[in-house]
């Protein structure tokens, strides 16, 4: 999922992206990156034991960001 936000003045643009990725040992990661468009963003990786846990976390974040 990728989101981009532009301020009404057009001076600032932000991005937010999320991706689910399988780990080597049957675990799953939710990789999130955010920051200003055109700049390197910050990255956060959260690990989960099961895919359904990672999907639930992604869904909760999507609902929060959609507000």
CA distance 25 to 33: 23
The pLDDT assigned to 10 comes to 66
Q: pTM higher than 0.85 for the full model? A: no
pLDDT in tens, the chain (67 residues): 677 777 777 677 888 999 999 999 999 999 999 998 888 899 999 999 999 999 999 999 988 887 7
Q: Which pLDDT does position 39 carry in this prediction?
A: 87
At residue 65, the pLDDT reads: 81
Give the pLDDT confidence score for residue 12 in this predicted structure. 77
């Amino acid at each position: 999922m990728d989101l981009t936000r532009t301020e009404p003045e057009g001076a600032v643009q932000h991005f937010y992206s999320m991706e689910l990725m399988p780990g080597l040992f049957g675990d799953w990661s939710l990789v999130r990156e955010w920051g200003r468009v055109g700049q390197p963003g910050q990255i956060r990786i959260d690990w989960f034991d099961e895919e359904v846990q990672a999907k639930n976390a992604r869904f909760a974040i999507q609902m929060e960001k959609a507000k």
